[in-house]
Structure 1
């Protein structure tokens, strides 16, 4: 992917840049990446909490967007489409790491003296850290399962922390409709999290 940046594209709307990029204009795609890199990195960091992992997965997301740009339909915003790819890449990385951690725990049960656990440094203790990690995994997985109509507004507002007028603008809907979807998304997420309370505890999920 050639990411040669052309400043002449700086005032062109995303929709036109996408059209040009779909026709083979790599500089137009580079402009799209320049515009959306800060938001993509903020979103990835809110999920991964590791800058090195963020850089890797944002780059992976950009490559995937480039490879599948021909499938993008202009009835959606490019920013929303790209954000969904970034979130999916980050969640896939977390699932891989979770499987790796479970493998380490199984190895330790077979007689190893040390069990390697990737726990947050700021945690007051390994038990609490592991619990919070599990809760975070549940939360991210249930956000992913929310219907796309509700998930998009939730991610833009709660993850990216965008003001509601900007959320509405990105989704091409009114502020009132965006607020309505956000309320429904929160209700949907709470119902989904309630199903896990028996295993993790409601206090842990809400803490």
Structure 2
């Protein structure tokens, strides 16, 4: 095909002329195939690249500045697409080692990740509800339980001195507060 013919066909194809498009593909298709074959791709990859080149051409048809140089544009695009396929193929490592193939991923499966995320969300909701019910307890229970969950845990003598409660009352009061909290959580269906 002559450059001037190609330029005129491209202009017609931009205008929507299907016959012009067909002439371009028939006239320059062998050029695209020659570039693709030169890269020694598999048949499947070669066909994929060939289709991708024409797709890119269709996407950019109206933006080609020098329509008479369409052959060069197609050849360059074909070369870039072939190189892209070859780069991606190098990332794959073919092996027949069954132990390598049976290796368990450190990341886990997508299903496992989803289950872990759901479990974390459920746990987070339980903790939120527990603190919500905790805030509804009386002041005395909240104070006592907050002091008792400190790290490191204080002795009953320290709790007695801090809250003004008899040492012998700390344990029984703790039990009553925890029972109230549990009853509140059970009433709300949180446990």
TM-score, scaled to structure 1: 0.42
TM-score, scaled to structure 2: 0.46
Q: Which has the larger radius of gyration?
A: 2
Larger relative contact order (Cα-Cα within 8 Å, sequence gap ≥ 6): 2
